[in-house]
Amino acid sequence: MTELLQTILLRVTIAGAVSAVALKLAGGGALKEVVRTAAGLLMLLALLQPLAGLHLLSWNWQSSVSQSDLDEMQARNMQTTMSTVAASIAKAVQQRAEEAGIPCTVNVEMANDADGLLQVDKVTVYYDSTAANRLSELQSLLTKECGVPAERQELIAR
């Protein structure tokens, strides 16, 4: 930015000096008015030409970002979203199971459905062997809390 201001200042100074000399040489009359108009245009050119090179003022800011970069950012954002949602669901289900007296660790995997909507894909539960007699209760809790049918639930004793 400092470089831009230095360039503008230098060009305006040079344009001013050239304009002053041209006005002095023009004398008076119609020629002086033509030189004055040309000097004004030269000053505008000295101001605006360095600004034209700025990419920040471009209306099409995305032109500097490739489609592959945009796709990569979108994939990274989707992965972060899936991870955050899965962790939140796992924590909530684990807490509900512990409240029901079933100590376990829950792992939730997310996926996009056919319409591209984010959904719970698979739930893996690592339960204490002491809770083996309450597996049906744990499965119904998973179905109720996550909306995951029994065939997408994996229950593993630890």
Q: How many CA atoms lie within 13 A of 141 on its CB side?
A: 23
Euclidean distance between CA atoms 125 and 108, whole angstroms: 9
Question: Quick one: tokens of 90?
Answer: 């796992």
Q: Which CATH architecture has domain 80-157?
A: 2-Layer Sandwich (3.30)
Residue 57, pLDDT score: 47
Alpha carbon separation from 155 to 90, 109, 136 (Å, rounded): 14, 14, 10
Domain assignments of the chain as residue spans, ordered by start: 2-57, 80-157
Q: CA dist 57 to 8, 50, 54, 139, Å?
A: 16, 12, 6, 58
pLDDT tens, per residue, the chain with 158 residues: 688 788 888 888 888 888 888 888 877 777 778 888 888 888 888 888 877 766 554 455 545 667 888 888 888 888 888 888 888 888 988 898 889 888 999 998 888 778 877 788 889 999 988 888 998 998 998 888 888 888 989 999 88
Helices (H), the chain: 2-26, 30-52, 67-99, 135-146
User: Which pTM was predicted?
Assistant: 0.54
Half-sphere exposure for 115 (CA within 13 Å, toward CB) = 3
Q: Give the model's pLDDT for residue 63.
A: 54
